[in-house]
Structure 1
Amino acid sequence: MTGTQDDDVGMSMHELDSLRRRRIDLEQQWAEVVPRLRQAAPRAEAGDLLLRHEVTESWIRSLPTVDPATDRAPVTDGGVVRPRWTGSPLREPVERVADELRTVADDAGFIAAVTDETGTILWTCGGRVMRRRAEQVNFAPGGRWDETAMGTNALSLALRTGRPSAVFSAEHLVAALHGWVCYCAPIRDARGQVLGVLDLSSTWDRSHPLAMSTVRSLVSAIESGLPAVSSAGLRVSALGVAAAVRDGVALNLRPRQLEILTLLALQPEGFTLDALREALYGDRMVTTTTVRAEASHLRNALGGILTARRYASTVPIECDAVDVLAALERRDLDAAVRLYRGPLLPQSEAPGIVRWRDHLEVTMREAVLTSDAPEHALAYGERAWYDAEIHEHALGSLARTDARRAIAAGRLAVARQE
């Protein structure tokens, strides 16, 4: 998709010239940086500053598995894709907004695509010309567009980061995609789990600042039509962040209430009054009346599911910290590293939280340091910028020809400056 369509773009010549200059600059950067990364250069140079940090890091992660000269995405067997789409929770809500998606795609000259959580395209729509161009690179049902399969693109970045992403022209690692611009956002269920992504793609000369807001709006419409998620339990996010959701609705809880909820998730058998007071306040002179009041506020906020004599929840509490510990217990370090997004309630000073935080961090760190797989140290290193030992381990685990050494070396340099 390298041709321009100036007559139909709907933008001024000045805007088009600006896009063209940006594309030329990115092409020059790609031509300079990608060969150097393939030679495992130790770090990026000043000229790389025109590139976004998330783009260069994605290039480095992708190069061990993706040839920039590839001309199309790998394809999953269609016999697998069709039943996957039929059974997908995304199918019905996407079909309900399909007319709007087709209108957007036809009017703006885009092609729309929906993937599953692995980055495999399940559904597309668009005009005949755009579909034909997209099919040339397997941007069609069955095409795999995750980072290990097709390198840096909006779909792979949105899946990896969990955030909306746009990739323009030569920001794509694969040269065959330099004529594209792609806008993408993850689709989540009520619990926040990513089910897939929605992508709008077109030729580079149709890049438009409103495209991302259109994607966001369409994703909101799809998410509103998703099947209801079971309300049998609560979901607490406590690693790197602090949030709780029930019945698909975010709970407005105070920090102390989130601490109690997190402790109950990690210790589902519950707490006696004295044990809860110690976990929250330690040796501080705090009365049991204060602890009872805190528990009562949480009970009211949760609709009465907190028992009174021994403080415990009457419904299951799902928690990301519990998920990490379970993954470590079954020796699934891939899952543990993926789920570990940072320290447990990093702002909390409650002794019970601090103990669990230290336990999680030490357990995760030791598991990573004993792993021979560089992917573990690289992924954990994203959350531990100032841990020189982790970055040294990543560097030592990587082959000298591995382009990802640039990531580990750069992080190690930063850590040693502290």
Structure 2
Amino acid sequence: MRDERFEAALPVGEDPHRYARLLARVHDAAVAGETPPARPRPVIGASWTRMRTRGLDPERGGRGRSLRSDELVERRRASPLSEVLPLLRGRLGGVAEQTANIMVITDADGHVLWRDGSTAVRRNADALGFVEGVSWGEDVVGTNAIGTALVTGQPMQVYSAEHYVRTHHAWTCASAPVRDPRTGGLLGVVDLSGPAATVSPTTLALVQTVAQLAEAQLLTSHFAAIEALRGSAVPILSRVPGPAVVTDPHGWVAASSGIAPVNHIALPVDCGAGRAWLPALGECSVEPVPGGWLVRLLDDDPTATFDERTRVRLDLRNSQARIDVNSASGTWNHPLSPRHAELLFLLAVQPGGCTAGQLAAEVFGDERRTVTVRAEMSRLRRNLGCLLSRRPYRFSENVEVEVLRPNDPGSLLPHSTAPAVRGG
């Protein structure tokens, strides 16, 4: 079965003008609460439902605060996307100029950080308020490739009247999220936007490919930094008695001594020197070293149970799901991939636990896909340690779990196609 989320907005062989007229009738009917002459694409229909639930005005959209000039400068400076800006401009800037489009790069909140491309189209974008510093999230401008890609975490192309707000019907846009290879978190979106007449089914594939190139360059930089840290980590570990690891600031392991090899450990929020309980290692001492942290094990039993004060919050309110843990020895969080967010949500709402077959049925609609489930649960347990038990899979008995859901039920794990999630 095709994944509708990755389809271009304009079907192959479809006349753009005729299709735009059909979309306009579909949009008018949907906004008026009438039966449309055709169904919008599922991802568009879901977004329109979110907009109606929020009461967003289809004529004018909503209001968002623009960044001040100093805030825009600071966000640009702090964004890891600044490192790949030459690549993005080199691969998309010229294309935008030649095809009467603009290239737009946003942060994870949807604020426009950079904009390049056709001068004429930039003037049109100025008139629409599509300028540096503004938010282009769904809650401000309704269904659009940037905001909807940030909500779903998936590449998006939006054409003409697929936009929820009528003032955007003259536009087409294609966006792809860029993720941080160190954390899996969203860094922002890269986008090509222009007049609706410039729509092309190939634009989405181009933007997605460039976003993947940007992620690959960030990953290469990450590996280079880890390799540089490894050069100083090995001598440090040679002088440390007992099991220990040296990590970068994000918990990626450069070198270890006396423990089984591991690629990453979850560090406390705002990690600082001192004692901390780490889910994969147990009680540890954390000390700063050049370029990262020295983590020494104080408790050789990483499977020790939590005390009764341990609290877990599964935060699903934003497109980047995460798990927050608060225990007697500290607080830490861990970003979750879309699949891991689905699995933890299902375990949180079923405290009695699930077998691999049950999870396979609830996630994939096929109870035979147990190998995939077991592999994903193994990855989760490597990061979350004794938060999770097995046989059946569940949260451990001494862990109190709270699920934070979005106010709009339709925004719960919007990327998910799992029957147990979409079925309510």
Give the TM-score normalised by structure 2.
0.58
Is 1:126 aligned with 2:150? no
Distance 2:410 2:27 in 1: 27
* Residue 84 of structure 1: aligned partner: 75
Is 1:204 aligned with 2:165? no
Q: CA RMSD in A?
A: 4.8
Which AA in structure 2 matches 1:23?
A
String of CA shifts for 1:114-153, please: whole Å, max 9, x gaps.
0001000000001110100111112221121111111111
Distance 1:384 1:213 in 2: 22
Cα distance, 1:356 vs structure 2: 5.4
* Residue 214 of structure 1: aligned partner: 206
Which AA in structure 2 matches 1:374?
N
Contact 1:72–1:136 (8 Å) recurs in 2: no
* Residue 56 of structure 1: aligned partner: 45
Which AA in structure 2 matches 1:228?
H
Aligned residue runs from structure 1 range 386-397, under 5 A: none
Contact 2:175–2:190 (8 Å) recurs in 1: yes
Contact 2:103–2:117 (8 Å) recurs in 1: yes
Higher relative contact order, structure no. (Cα contacts within 8 Å, ≥ 6 residues apart)? 1
Is 1:352 aligned with 2:392? no
Contact 1:27–1:170 (8 Å) recurs in 2: yes
Distance 1:339 1:148 in 2: 25
C-alpha spacing 1:51/1:85, structure 2 compared with 1 (3 Å): same
Cα distance, 1:24 vs structure 2: 0.7
Q: Which protein is richer in strand relative to its size?
A: 2
Which AA in structure 1 matches 2:161?
A
Aligned residue runs from structure 1 range 216-235, under 5 A: 216-226=208-218, 227-228=221-222, 231=226
* Residue 173 of structure 2: aligned partner: 182
Aligned residue runs from structure 1 range 3-402, under 5 A: 18-36=15-33, 47=36, 50-63=39-52, 64=54, 66-70=56-60, 74=64, 75-191=66-182, 192-226=184-218, 227-228=221-222, 231=226, 266=279, 268-269=281-282, 323-326=322-325, 341-344=341-344, 346=359, 347-348=373-374, 352-354=389-391, 357-358=394-395, 367=403, 374-375=407-408, 379=412
Distance 2:414 2:15 in 1: 37
Cα distance, 1:73 vs structure 2: 6.8
Cα distance, 1:194 vs structure 2: 1.3
Aligned with 2:193: secondary structure?
A: strand
Aligned with 2:85: secondary structure?
A: helix
Cα distance, 1:95 vs structure 2: 2.8
Cα distance, 1:201 vs structure 2: 0.8
Identity of aligned residues (%): 23
C-alpha spacing 1:196/1:386, structure 2 compared with 1 (3 Å): closer
Aligned with 2:58: secondary structure?
A: coil
Contact 2:174–2:192 (8 Å) recurs in 1: yes
Contact 2:104–2:191 (8 Å) recurs in 1: yes
Distance 1:162 1:117 in 2: 10
Q: Which protein is richer in helix relative to its size?
A: 1
Q: How many residues align?
A: 305
**Structure 1, unaligned stretches of length 5 or more?**
1-14, 38-44, 235-244, 248-256, 271-304, 314-319, 392-410
Distance 1:337 1:267 in 2: 18
Distance 2:92 2:26 in 1: 34
Distance 2:90 2:155 in 1: 23
Contact 1:266–1:321 (8 Å) recurs in 2: no
Cα distance, 1:80 vs structure 2: 1.2
C-alpha spacing 1:29/1:98, structure 2 compared with 1 (3 Å): same
Aligned with 2:21: secondary structure?
A: helix
C-alpha spacing 1:50/1:164, structure 2 compared with 1 (3 Å): same
Q: Which moved more, 1:201-210 or 1:85-94?
A: 85-94
C-alpha spacing 1:356/1:325, structure 2 compared with 1 (3 Å): farther
Contact 2:172–2:193 (8 Å) recurs in 1: yes
Contact 2:324–2:331 (8 Å) recurs in 1: no
Give the TM-score normalised by structure 1.
0.59
